[in-house]
Amino acid sequence: MGGGGKQRGAAQRSQGPDRLAFGTIVRSAPLEEGGELVVLDWNEKAVEEKVAVVPQEPDIVEDPNPRGNTRGCRGIRWHRDQLIAASYHTLRVYDEELRSVGALSDGLMVGLHEIATTADDTVWVTSTAIDAVIEYDLIEQTRRRAYWPREMEALQEQFGLVPLPIDKAADNRLNFLAPAKTDADSHLHLNAVEEHAGDVYALSNAYGAILNLSKAEVVLQHEGLEGAHNLLILDDDLAIVNDTFGSIVRFYDLAERKLQRSIDLTDYRWVRELIRWKIPPYLAKEMARKVGLRDHSVAKPLFVRGLVRDESHLFVGVSPAAILQIDWQTGELVDAYQYADDVHVCVHGLEVLG
């Protein structure tokens, strides 16, 4: 899965947060080796603790999708001195030494991706496989609210959506494992959620759109949002998103509904060196896939996923599993850390520990 990590000569070293948590997903791995939750001493670049994250209760015996799918650790949030980390269908709760202190699961937790906690001790989850964004009470461990954008008339008209046929009262956690379920028409692939100014926003990876679910409206669409991950919204209506396949961090003005600026990660020498020897085998495998010699997707170098802000710095995850510290106002690469050398090992969740 992961290794001890290397710093690999980033830009000038500077003081950052004391500790970070990150989750990994290992593409095509056996489920029991599909990913980890890791606590890292950022200044020393030393792994303090790590734990395997495997979907359990209910167990998944076989994953029909060789990509990430049910593997590994997804969205992470630090809330009231506890670390909440999402597996495919469960929110797992740990103390800062990664000792398990609880779990929350539900029949509508299906393909969890990013999560967002609130001051009211609730958590929003993106139940990506079923195109839902759902709020849970962390104290009572109960479901509170849910948004089903494929059932919203305004979004149906704009995107030509049809509702998902689903029994919302059933336990759906093992019902959407096959790739065909999430490759179907109308699938939004909601993979990130944020509360901002009293409204709930979500990122639709499939339609390249940021949605205001509270108002059932499309805030903006942009080609850089197609296939994208993560969504941070700052107080000044600035939305930050990872353009996953473009290897770019993009900044959108939600008030003006337009792209403001971008940071191309390949401009950094450290990043180019990270993927330098990964590109030729990737291109060869991708060509084999296109001509029918391979029957599934190929792990892509510099697959950009994982995003958290710490004051003026962004921490961005890439593959092979590594983390970049960027001054988001100047665009300077401040520091970096490599956890694994295998391009199949991807960062997913990222969080600063308080």
Grade residue 298 by pLDDT with cuts at 50, 70 and 90: low
Contact 36, 51 (CB under 8 A): yes
Q: Which residues have a Cβ under 8 Å from the Cβ of 190 and sit 6 or more positions away?
A: 113, 126, 127, 128, 131, 132, 133, 149, 202, 203, 204, 205, 211
Q: Which residues contact 169 (CB under 8 A, 6 or more apart)?
A: 107
d(CA 276, CA 270): 10
Confidence of residue 3 (pLDDT cuts 50, 70, 90): very low
Give the integer Cα–Cα distance in Å for 125 and 174.
17
Which tens digits make up the pLDDT trace of 75-120?
999 999 999 999 999 999 999 999 999 999 999 999 999 999 999 9
**pLDDT for the residue 299:** 82
User: How many whole angstroms separate alpha carbon 148 and alpha carbon 107?
Assistant: 15
pLDDT at 71 > cutoff 80: yes
- Residue 216 pLDDT grade (very low, low, confident, very high; cuts 50, 70, 90): very high
> Residue 12 above 80 pLDDT?
no
Q: In this predicted structure, what is the pLDDT of residue 291?
A: 67
Element (H, E) at 243: strand 238-243
Average of per-residue pLDDT values in the chain: 93
User: How many Å apart are CA 325 and CA 3, to the nearest integer?
Assistant: 20
Region of residue 156 (phi > 0: left; psi between -120 and 50: alpha; otherwise: beta): alpha
Residue with the bigger pLDDT between 67 and 130: it is 130
Q: Read off the tokens for 142.
A: 């109960």
User: Which pLDDT belongs to residue 89?
Assistant: 98
With beta carbons less than 8 A apart as the criterion, state whether 194 and 231 touch: yes
What's the pTM?
0.93
Averaged pLDDT, 256-282: 93
The pLDDT score that the predictor gives to residue 109 is 98
Geometric angle at alpha carbon 82, from 54 and 118, rounded to 5°: 105
Pairwise CA distance, residues 33 & 40, whole Å: 20
Q: With the CA atoms of 165, 170, 172 and 176 taken in that order, what torsion angle do they form, in degrees rounded to the nearest 10?
A: -30
241 Cβ contact list (under 8 Å, min separation 6): 192, 203, 210, 224, 225, 228, 229, 230, 231, 232, 249, 250, 252, 307
Q: Name all contacts of 177-181 with Cβ < 8 Å and 24+ positions apart.
A: 177/60, 177/63, 177/64, 177/65, 177/69, 177/70, 178/64, 178/65, 179/64, 179/65, 179/67, 179/69, 181/129
Q: What is the pLDDT of residue 1?
A: 43
Q: Which tokens belong to 153? A: 């008339």
3-state DSSP call for residue 225? helix
Residues 151-179 pLDDT 10s: 999 999 999 999 999 999 999 999 999 98
DSSP secondary structure, 277-316, as one string: TTHHHHHHHHHHHHTTS--S--PPTT----EEEETTEEEE
CB 248: neighbour CB atoms within 10 A? 18
Count CB-CB contacts under 10 A for residue 171: 15
| pLDDT value of residue 14 | 53
Mean pLDDT to the nearest integer, 134-157: 98
At 44, the amino acid letter reads E
Strand 313-318 with 322-327, pairing: antiparallel
Round the CA-based radius of gyration of the chain to a whole number and report it.
19
Higher pLDDT, 7 or 49: 49
The CATH architecture to which 19-352 belongs is 6 Propeller (2.120)
Q: Which of 34-48, 51-65, 236-250, 282-296 has the lowest mean pLDDT?
A: 282-296
| pLDDT beyond 70 at 264 | yes
pLDDT at 180: 82
DSSP string, 8-31: -S-SS-----SEEEEEEEETT--G
Residue 238, pLDDT above cutoff 70:
yes
